[in-house]
Structure 1
């Protein structure tokens, strides 16, 4: 079942009753609304005047619903997840923590190869040249010692957004960087949620290891999935709408990313479900039961349906 994403951009009082999320708005003309908690995958809280009860937080966490809060710039800044996400969590974390350096280098090689190949497929779907990216995707070495990820990213973004003046991928850069930042933050939450559900530590990465980053493994695993954010942002640009400010309309489109259809292991499934299959396959690699991480292959044919 596809889990719903709820976005709250106005003041509201959120509580629970009869296993439902109950929304009471401050505006007198708005009626109380209820949503079954079991249907929810993500709840995004943007307005600083939102009040949420501890009883609701408890039920959302027990349902493995990711609670995402936003900062003053309206960007996701925190993620609330359960302390226990899997019945075998301790054993699974032990395998993760004991992973050898050669294994981690191989997993990173697979991850970057899949990322670059998806970048190539995305450029091709837009009628742009992708010969270099396809070649680089097969040239990635163990641990990506040649840093092809960075080389490919610079080439990819330069060609993808070639119509945008002075564009370069930078968190504080010109639009559509603001849309990419928001979309990647949502994607990061999706991946972190899946990792916890698979009994893994989102903070212990296979490549990323910044001591100030609590989501190193999420940042690793999300790399081949970034392409879906890029595709949504590109589609938004093609409409010609104003992207200088992150309007509610733009956020609504980006919040649909978890439900996008993606192609993984010869099957179509919602992105949030595909990510769960990826994190499960990653655990199998840590366990030694498998050597390949399942990553999606970009296909734009069903993204706009």
Structure 2
């Protein structure tokens, strides 16, 4: 399993030595991880330092170094520019892709996201019919903003009536932010490994967003974070702490059903990015391989990620609204 290394304590120093990432404090080593086993390095704490050698070693392996703000959302990511042997050709094809192709790709991504949201609702005993109906209304480019219409139905059904998705809210939104950070870094890594440039999105186009394409491709995977955050909150783990961080880090190894059999979230993200590269080269949107929605058994398997420590009462989710 590729590992997510989260640095959550102040005063740490990160360096590279003989193929390992070393974590030290006051010049004393307190841990090491093989560089080749790392999927992402996420820095939450303040006062953390790292060596240039480590940054170069991570970049050479396509491993993102993610810097987070106080709301647990990423504010900066270090990624390599040279991440694939055919990078130049693929980036040219990516840049030259026409607007009609981008609109077709975005609609396919939105359809995949809505199907994932519907699967998550059904697995938690919620009515999914509204989202199934909206899937059929998605048009090229989603001009009717079906994604937002679905969100207005999805969040109150999944969480509670009146729930709002707010990045800076001090409730279950914190764990959601952290989980999205995990998957965003995974997708960003997959994008670069596929020889694509993460700043050239197919829908997200904010000039200040260097990872617009990662934000596009992470959309279908987001409901998996929602499901785990909900199940964690039901057990009393409704804050971002070491226990919930370990749970979200485990998402990248969760099993999913695919066209070629069972795979992991990591491999599904890689296949999605690789297939997108092929769509740019062939100008054929049907080449995009979006991940299939998780089955009820796969969603129930998220419980294996929940810490075994004694649960405490949840401050964000009434007992009547907790999932089975």
Scaled by the length of structure 2, what TM-score is found?
A: 0.86
Asked if 1:179 is matched to 2:178, the reply is no
The structure-2 alpha-carbon separation of the partners of 1:12 and 1:114, relative to structure 1 and needing over 3 Å to count, comes to same
Alignment match of 1:126 (pick from 124, 127, 140) = 124
Report how far residue 293 of structure 1 moved: 1.4
Taking structure 1 as reference, are residues 24 and 240 closer, same or farther at Cα in structure 2, changes over 3 Å only?
A: closer
Query: After TM superposition, where is structure 1 displaced by more than 4 Å over at least 4 residues in a row?
Result: none
Match of 1:295 among 290, 299, 305: 290
1:245-284 correspondence to structure 2 within 5 Å:
245-284=239-278
CA contact (8 A) 1:285 1:292 kept: yes
Partner-residue secondary structure (3-state), 1:213 = coil
Structure 2 residue matching 1:142: 3-state secondary structure: coil
- How far, CA to CA, are the matches of 2:122 and 2:83 in structure 1? 39
Distance 1:260 1:232 in 2: 11
SS at match of 1:256: helix
Gapped runs of 5+ residues in structure 2? 305-324
Shift of 1:51: 2.1
Q: Report what 1:154 is aligned to.
A: 152
SS at the partner of 1:214? coil
Cα distance change of structure 1 residues 25 and 180 upon mapping to structure 2, 3 Å threshold: same
Residue aligning to 1:9: 8
Tell me, what secondary structure is at the counterpart of 2:287?
Answer: coil
Deviations 1:60-96 (A, max 9, x none): 2112222112234444322111111111111101111
Number of residue pairs matched by the alignment: 298
Name which of 103, 106, 128 aligns with 1:105. 103
Q: Please list the CA deviations of residues 9-56 of structure 1 after superposition, one character each: whole Å capped at 9, or x if unmatched.
A: 12222222221222223497xx54332211111112222222211112
Do the aligned partners of 1:109 and 1:144 also contact (CA within 8 Å) in 2?
Answer: yes
> Which residue of the partner structure matches residue 212 of structure 1?
208
Q: 2:192 aligns with which of 183, 196, 203?
A: 196
Partner in structure 2 of residue 86 of structure 1: 84
Deviation at 1:133, TM superposition (A): 0.6
* Alignment partners' CA distance in 2, 1:155 and 1:161: 11
Name stretches of at least 5 consecutive residues in structure 1 with no aligned partner: none
Q: Give the Cα–Cα distance (whole angstroms) in 2 for the partners of residues 264 and 18 of structure 1.
A: 37
How many angstroms does 1:196 deviate by?
Answer: 0.7
SS of 2:23's equivalent in the other structure is strand
Equivalent residue number for residue 222 of structure 1: 218
- Cα distance in 1, alignment partners of residues 30 and 121 from structure 2: 46
Residue aligned with 1:252, SS: helix
Which digits, 9 at most, give the CA deviation of each residue in 1:187-225, with x for residues without a partner?
A: 211111111111111111111112222221111111111
Classify 1:94/1:294 alpha carbon distance in 2 versus 1 (closer, same or farther; 3 Å): same
Contact 2:279 2:287 (C-alpha < 8 Å) held by counterparts? yes
Match of 1:138 in 2: 136
